């Protein structure tokens, strides 16, 4: 039996392209764990993210959430703050250009921020 969804660490610095391509080729949806990099690297300071945010009048977090949606990921950004939750939902009134998507996708560097799944109990 094939799973419907695979949740894996996925953000611009750690995109797991081989795994996501395999999953999608088998009809498995990808859910991004840690979609904003867990604040463990300066994702929002990346030029591609900051430039897209300025262009669209959005926050860097909104741009990264939109990037996830446009490349086909399921995304549940974590927040305990009501205003941040509202901000995270406000991503459906703009679309990144293909060049903006490509620039954010170019941030891949194998930068896992969470524990490796083999090391988690």
Q: Which two tokens stand for residue 93?
A: 């009134």
Mean pLDDT, all residues of the chain: 90
Going by pLDDT thresholds of 50, 70 and 90, the confidence category of residue 71 is very high
**What mean pLDDT comes out for the span 98-112?**
91
In the 8-state DSSP scheme, what is residue 36?
T
Q: Tell me the three state secondary structure of residue 74.
A: strand
Ordered by start, the domain boundaries in the chain are: 5-110
Tell me the per-residue pLDDT of 28-66, one tens digit each, with 9 for 90 and over: 999 999 999 888 788 899 999 999 999 999 999 999 999
- Give alpha helix (H) positions in 1-121: 17-25, 47-56, 60-70, 82-89, 98-105
From the list 64, 66, 67, the residue with the least C-alpha distance to 91 is 66
Does residue 19 surpass a pLDDT of 70?
yes
The total number of residues written for the chain in this structure: 121
- In the prediction, which pLDDT does 117 show? 60
Class of domain 5-110: alpha beta
From the list 38, 55, 39, 57, the residue with the least C-alpha distance to 47 is 55
**Strands across the sheet with 5-9, in order?**
5-9, 29-33, 74-75
Does residue 3 surpass a pLDDT of 60?
yes
């Amino acid at each position: 039996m094939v799973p419907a969804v695979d949740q894996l660490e996925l953000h611009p610095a750690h995109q797991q392209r081989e795994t996501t391509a395999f999953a999608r080729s088998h009809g498995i949806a990808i859910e991004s764990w840690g979609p904003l990099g867990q604040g463990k690297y300066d994702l929002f300071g990346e030029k591609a993210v900051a430039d897209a945010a300025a262009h669209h009048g959005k926050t860097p977090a909104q741009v990264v959430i939109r990037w996830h949606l446009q490349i086909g990921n399921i995304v549940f950004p974590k927040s305990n703050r009501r205003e941040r939750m509202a901000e995270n939902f406000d991503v459906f009134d703009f679309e990144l250009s293909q060049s903006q998507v490509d620039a954010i996708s170019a941030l891949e560097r194998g930068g896992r921020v969470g524990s490796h799944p083999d090391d988690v109990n």
